[in-house]
Structure 1
Amino acid sequence: METDNTKKFNELFCELEHCNEDEQRKKIGEMNEIIDGMNEEEHKSVFTTRMFNKIDKMIVEKKMSMENAILLLNHVGYCNVLKNVWNLFFEKSSLSRRFKKMIVEEDKKEEKNEKLLVDLCECYLLFYIEFPSLDLILTCVPCLLKATLKKEENDETQKEVEIALLALSRINRHYFLRQELYLKEITEIIEHQQKHRNLSQLAYQSTWKFFIYRYFNDYFLKGNIMNKLHFGREAARELEELIKCVDWNRKNGEEGGKEAKEELILLRCLQTIVVYFCICKLENEENEGLIKSIVKVLRAVKDNRRDISDQCISSLRNAAENRVVKVEYLLKGGAVEAVLEGMQRPTLNECLRFDCLQFFMNVSERLNEKVDNKTEEEERKATKRKIIDKMEEEGYEDTITSFHKTLKIFN
């Protein structure tokens, strides 16, 4: 079904091949503003294989410059990633094949067009869904990292850095990258941000996402991530800042202007924290503050954004399950109470209910561990009793019985 957004966008797109370059650039600016307001269904209805093939044909016939094509495509890719829209059409297009070929050819040149190579790498990574070749990744990483090291404070440069980092964050855990390919540069970006705070929230979050994903294949990074660069402290600070920017009374799906973008960045931040608690096994005192910040988000969101609630509870479940966080941090941070409150929400689905129960199981198992301090032991028993009472109140008697039989964690 055509909407006002898709209708206006398609009209402007049809006009592009009849414009000179300057007029075309102006129309693309209007199109990019429309893209900002599109929802997922509108994205998928407009950006089809047919459209990408049409752009490729316009480039071949010199009806659109490569510069203008990238101006449009990078913004489309940027919005796709930010809004978590999975577009499968680009990879099937002739334009995708052209970009891959151009990246390889440009990289082989002795005198490279650095800006073009950066633009092509960004555009390709922002759109890809399936796994590109490792050779292509190994070309894109140093190229984009070099682009992120710009220190100018002007808006244009910082936007370029943001897009480069967003593209890098798309390189997921399936790729093993040698530390010498990225570690020095990523460390420099993070340390510079901690000192000067010049990156946008999205850019900084994207840096951490790229770095955290490297841990899947390189466990020696844990000291860098947790102790040297202080992920727990930084993630907590980012959450605290984002909490202030969001209109928590806005219902999911309503128009929200800037607040809607901040919610998307917050969601991406939480998704990175979920991965962090899943794979990083080293305890760190800074995680106590991170738990408190996650709980604050969970209580603030209430029933308005289930996707954000899901990520909060998943992160708490992983923290309890993988023992990254001391059980005392979970108790002091209010995690138990917050998850108990979450079980009463009408938006609770089966997946989220499982995460809640898994959290309680892991916390209760850890509370059953022996401690020397009698006062602490009594506090732990009282906490376990509180969990049992609440689960009985919510109708989970069978689950409690199962826990008794299989794990004996409520004894």
Structure 2
Amino acid sequence: MIEEKKIAMENAIILLKRVGHCKMLKNIWDLEFVYSLLNERFEKMIIEGGKKDEGKNEKLVTDLCECYLSLGFFFSPEMFSVCVPCIIKVALKKEENEEAQKEVEIALIALSNVGFYKIEQKLYLNEIKEIIKYHQEHRNLTRLAYQSAWQFLIKRWVKDKGMKEVIVNELHFTREARREIEELKRNVDWKRKEEEKRGKKVKKVLVIERWLNAINDFLSECTLWNEEFIGLLSSIAQVYRAAKGNNEVISNKCIHSLRTASDYGVVEVDVMLKEGVVDLFSEEMKRSTLEHFTVWNCLHFFLTISERLKEEEKDETDETKRNATKMEIFEKMEEEGYEDVIISFHKMLNFLKDQYYGFGNISLNISDYFVNA
């Protein structure tokens, strides 16, 4: 249509930016664009535009970069040297008027769509730190924009282990994630169904969903612990209880994040006990009807913490602490009929292992699910 002059290039870019933005908000994965001629043309135009010094149309290059990142799924790594600085420049705007905030939000959402690629720190790190720190002090970003800045940064961690200290202790991810999901939870009418009937997702729910994605990525890679972790798990548990029966996507993501926390040693078992995570999984297992996804996560959770509590500790202090935790969990589970609940799932384990991907690591040995205090 552009070639036939049915639509001007500027209008086409505006339209495609809007399409990419809506795609991100609806969490749509579309691989067709990646293999399209339009994607190739965008890459060529961005590279050519990025090389120009005189007569360079920065606004056009930035718009093209936003379209390219928000519409795509797989990216050519060489494109990041042009796209990331262009979009970061827009995201650095600090005006608090509605138009500027929207422009910054669109830019950060586009950045958040960049997957787990290795990107040179010099292209983004100082700037993204400035964006996050400035918001922490002045609250100038929309909630979606702020979450998107974090989502972009968390995804860098996987390929750049040096980011751990920055994310955990300098920018305080767990503190910020906890505060954001708690505030959002309080402002969501979880029983409201009108938007679902119209196929419209409430924006606050969308932001909670994206925070949970980032938290899960964080928990699956984190090896640093600080006191700000305390409270995060209980906040996720609160969101789960609010969403249960009202929003399946959110409740499933909460269960998945809490189960992920059990898989990695950075979150100790006694913390999960104090934060109410053990209680939550125990409550879920006693429900009369359970989705297979929830069954797997519950079984995986109790299998994992049983294995962790059987591990040899490094010193006498650790062993005393571990034994106290084991006894507390054992007494709690015995009181709640945990053994009978576990046994009730035994007949369906073979079915789950055969029918569903990911059930292969669930043990068929019932004794593996008990904490031998």
Please confirm whether the aligned pair reaches a TM-score higher than 0.5, indicating the same fold.
yes
Deviations 1:224-270 (A, max 9, x none): 11111110100001101110222211359724898722111111110
Contact 1:283–1:326 under 8 Å retained in 2: no
1:189 correspondence with 2:131: yes
What is the CA–CA distance in structure 2 between the aligned matches of 1:237 and 1:256, rounded to whole Å?
30
- Residue 191 of structure 1 aligns to which amino acid in structure 2? K
1:122 correspondence with 2:84: no
What is the CA–CA distance in structure 2 between the aligned matches of 1:346 and 1:138, rounded to whole Å?
54
What is the CA–CA distance in structure 1 between the aligned matches of 2:256 and 2:194, rounded to whole Å?
20
What is the CA–CA distance in structure 1 between the aligned matches of 2:150 and 2:226, rounded to whole Å?
17
Contact 1:292–1:334 under 8 Å retained in 2: yes
Larger relative contact order (C-alpha < 8 A, sep ≥ 6)? 2
**Aligned mate of 2:12, from 64, 69, 75:** 69
1:7-406 to 2 correspondences below 5 Å: 57=1, 59-111=2-54, 112-129=56-73, 131-173=74-116, 175-251=117-193, 254-255=196-197, 260-344=202-286, 348-368=290-310, 371-372=319-320, 378-385=327-334, 389-390=337-338, 392-393=340-341, 395-396=344-345, 402-403=364-365
What is the CA–CA distance in structure 1 between the aligned matches of 2:223 and 2:340, rounded to whole Å?
32
Contact 2:269–2:325 under 8 Å retained in 1: no
Contact 2:306–2:369 under 8 Å retained in 1: no
What is the CA–CA distance in structure 1 between the aligned matches of 2:76 and 2:182, rounded to whole Å?
38
Contact 2:326–2:371 under 8 Å retained in 1: no
Contact 2:330–2:371 under 8 Å retained in 1: no
Equivalenced residues, count: 351
Contact 2:326–2:372 under 8 Å retained in 1: no
Which range moved further: 263-272 or 87-96?
87-96
Which range moved further: 351-360 or 368-377?
368-377
Which range moved further: 199-208 or 359-368?
359-368
- Residue 116 of structure 1 aligns to which amino acid in structure 2? L
How far has the Cα of 1:337 moved from its partner?
Answer: 1.6
What is the CA–CA distance in structure 2 between the aligned matches of 1:245 and 1:67, rounded to whole Å?
38
What is the CA–CA distance in structure 2 between the aligned matches of 1:310 and 1:243, rounded to whole Å?
16
Which range moved further: 355-364 or 336-345?
336-345
Please provide the CA RMSD for this pair: 2.6
- Residue 28 of structure 2 aligns to which amino acid in structure 1? V
What is the CA–CA distance in structure 2 between the aligned matches of 1:372 and 1:193, rounded to whole Å?
43
Contact 1:364–1:384 under 8 Å retained in 2: no
Does the C-alpha gap of structure 1 residues 161 and 380 become closer, same or farther in structure 2, counting only changes over 3 Å?
same
What is the match of residue 356 of structure 2? none
Does the C-alpha gap of structure 1 residues 405 and 177 become closer, same or farther in structure 2, counting only changes over 3 Å?
same
What is the CA–CA distance in structure 2 between the aligned matches of 1:252 and 1:351, rounded to whole Å?
26
Does the C-alpha gap of structure 1 residues 347 and 311 become closer, same or farther in structure 2, counting only changes over 3 Å?
farther
Contact 1:168–1:206 under 8 Å retained in 2: yes
What is the CA–CA distance in structure 1 between the aligned matches of 2:252 and 2:289, rounded to whole Å?
10
Unmatched tracts of structure 1, length 5 or more = 1-56
How far has the Cα of 1:280 moved from its partner?
Answer: 1.0
Contact 1:247–1:259 under 8 Å retained in 2: no
How far has the Cα of 1:67 moved from its partner?
Answer: 2.1
3-state SS in 2 of match to 1:219: coil
How far has the Cα of 1:83 moved from its partner?
Answer: 1.0
3-state SS in 1 of match to 2:162: helix
What is the CA–CA distance in structure 2 between the aligned matches of 1:281 and 1:386, rounded to whole Å?
34
3-state SS in 1 of match to 2:135: helix
What is the CA–CA distance in structure 1 between the aligned matches of 2:96 and 2:293, rounded to whole Å?
44
Deviations 1:91-138 (A, max 9, x none): 344332322221111101113211111110011111112x22111122
Unmatched tracts of structure 2, length 5 or more = 312-317, 350-361
3-state SS in 1 of match to 2:328: helix
3-state SS in 2 of match to 1:372: helix
- Residue 62 of structure 2 aligns to which amino acid in structure 1? V
TM-score between both structures, scaled by the size of structure 1: 0.78
